[in-house]
Amino acid sequence: MILDALGYTDHSPAHTKLVAERAADLLDSFGFGEDVIRLAKIAGFMHDIGNAISRHHHAEYGALLANEILKETDLALQDRVHIVSAIANHDESYGVASDPVSAALIIADKTDVRRSRVRPKDPILFDVHDRVNYAVTATELGCAPQEKRITLCLTIDERICTMYEYFDIFLARMTMCSHAARILDAQFSLKVNGQKVL
C-alpha cells in the first residue's frame, strides 16, 4: 500500500511469488538441492518486506524484519543467515551475491520486468520506470545449465521506451545479474527484440 501511494511499480504478493518461484526454478535447473531451493523461496517471498518501513534502504530493513520473524521458526541459524543475507544484499545500490541463495534471489528479482508491474494510471503520468516496464510486452528467463547460461529475453515496444531509457534504468540491475550468475557458475545474457545486447 505504501509503494502504491508513492507510485512505485508493483511490489505486491504477485511480485514476491514470481521472485520466489523464479529463484527456485533457477537453482533447480542448475542442480542445487531442495534445502538450498527452500531457502531461496523463503528469501524470495520475504525480500521486499522492508518496504513497509521505507523504500530507501528497504533491503536492510527487510533483513532486520526477516531475522526477527525467522527467529520464531525452527530454521537453523545457518539457514536463517543465508536468507537474511540474501535479503540484505538484493538491492543494486550496494548489494552483492555471495552464495547461491543470494544469487538466485538477485537474478529472480532484477529480471521481473513486465507491463503488469505498472500501477494503473494515465500514461501521461508515467515516469521513466513506468515507461520502461510498460514497454515490455513479453519477458522470459531461460536457463541452459549445459551451456552454463541464463538469458533474459525481452520484447520491448520502442515507441514507448527507447533502449537508452531501458539501459539508464536497468544497466546496474543487469550488471548485478551478471555477477550473480557467476556465483552459479553461469553467464548472464540479455536479448532484446531478438538481439543479444549483453
| Per-residue b or e along 136-162, where b marks 16 or more CB atoms closer than 10 Å to that residue's CB | beebebebeeeeeebbbbbebeeebbe
What's the CA gap between 130 and 65, in Å, rounded?
Answer: 28
pLDDT tens digits for 153-187?
999 999 998 888 888 888 999 999 999 999 999 99
Indicate the angle between helix axes 58-70 and 34-46, nearest 10 degrees.
120
Backbone angles phi, psi at 137, to 5 degrees: -95, -15
Domain definitions of the chain by residue range = 2-196
Is the pLDDT confidence value at 13 over 90? no
Give residue for cell 511480485. 15
Comparison of pLDDT for 129 and 79, the residue scoring more: 79
Is the CA virtual torsion 191, 198, 156, 153 positive or negative? positive
Name the CA radius of gyration of the chain, rounded: 16
Question: Domain spanning 2-196: which superfamily?
Answer: Hypothetical protein af1432 (1.10.3210.10)
- Residue the block writes with cell 525467522: 70
Q: Is residue 7's pLDDT more than 50?
A: no
